[in-house]
Amino acid sequence: MNAVNWEIPLSHPERDELEALISMRNPPFSGLMKGSITCIHGFLTSIVSGPIPPPSEWLPLIIGDATQWETEERAERAMTLLTRFLTGIASDLDGGDRGFSIPIDRRGALHDSESTLSLAQDWCRGYTFGMLPRERDWQTAVEAPELKQFFFSILLLARPGTAEALDSIKASEAFAEIFDQLSQYAVTINEWWQPRLEASSRAASASPNVGTVRRATPKISPNAPCPCGSGKKHKRCCAQARTKI
């Protein structure tokens, strides 16, 4: 069996394959994370941007119970593709060669496409769902004055309060403007988190017995296997999404 190169980004056919595999899982693809591969992209973006929860908290939302899949091979293939998807997003957010982008067809937005709006909503919904496992920690970012407008736009698309609110987005230039900025919003929020998570880690290391210091996640050795399941060392995988070496 050939070793998996976790650094190769998913191709478009592989993204379609991942979406199809997840739709065939047992129990069926439902609940918070039902939707498109764009929704999963948004979910993974927020997972690697801020305080990363352990995989046991977020993997079941996408993969479900791997022991109940029709075949073990399908479950393993879905996990492999999902892990490559996550590591690719982390690399892109951290200034990778490809740069960070959201898998939505930009051309549709020029024509106020209903399908493009739906995909943009999917991405924003996924992003907000990824915040839920560490909702208290994320609240600090949501309330930061320099990020308020970014989160307002993401939440507006993710959870439009009324049909009129959604119509006002479609009927004006507001949607096109939000759409154009979504990728930059994600990068800026990720950059906002990096020094804060690094400072929190240093404080916890310096005062491990001080009860008032609260880590978002257990400390992970840089040389330990990454908890995302990629098989790479933590310092060469998800840690790169929050600490610029």
Residue with the two structure tokens 């800026």: 188
> Mean pLDDT across the chain, nearest whole number?
76
pLDDT tens, position by position, 112-171: 456 667 778 889 999 999 999 899 999 999 999 999 989 988 988 887 655 555 555 555
* pTM across the whole model: 0.75
| Residue 218 zone, left/alpha/beta (φ > 0; ψ -120 to 50; rest) | beta
pLDDT tens, position by position, 3-57: 777 778 888 899 888 888 887 765 565 556 666 788 899 999 999 999 988 888 8
What is the predicted pLDDT for the residue at 106?
A: 44
Domains of the chain: 12-195+220-241 (1.20.120.740)
What is the predicted pLDDT for the residue at 229?
A: 57
Q: Are 227 and 54 in contact (CB under 8 A)?
A: yes
